[in-house]
Amino acid sequence: AQTVTQSQPEMSVQEAETVTLSCTYDTSENNYYLFWYKQPPSRQMILVIRQEAYKQQNATENRFSVNFQKAAKSFSLKISDSQLGDTAMYFCAFMKPNAGGTSYGKLTFGQGTILTVHP
């Protein structure tokens, strides 16, 4: 079974600065997907960024980028130019695609990191 660990329960950053959230995972699979989801106080789960394990290039989406280290099973999220609207709980998640059985495209989530952006 896959596990996802986020070792930082809480982080804070000043507006306009850069912050990195950590995530490690454990799997014996070679092909999989990794995601970062954002959950603001509204509770809505919002996809931030996605990484395919077979791609060596790190994914980027505007101010959000990842550092994907497959051998180390590490998947950190970097937020540049932090904004007040980035304040949220951030979840790292793992997916083994279309493998059948109870892991059929399901997401395995980490415990989350609460990020607070201060003005």
Structure tokens at 110: 């980490």
* Partner residues linked to 66 by β-bridges: 77
Measured CA to CA, the distance from residue 95 to residue 83 in angstroms comes to 29
Q: With binding defined as CB under 8 A, does residue 104 bind other proteins? A: yes
Nearer to other proteins, 44 or 69 (CB): 44
Among 44, 60, 69, 83, binds other proteins (CB under 8 A): 44
Q: With binding defined as CB under 8 A, does residue 4 bind other proteins? A: yes
Q: With binding defined as CB under 8 A, does residue 13 bind other proteins? A: no
SS3 28: coil
C-beta atoms surrounding 115 within 10 Å: 21
Residues that bind other proteins (CB under 8 A): 4, 33, 35, 42-45, 47, 50, 91, 93, 95, 97, 101-102, 104-107, 109-112
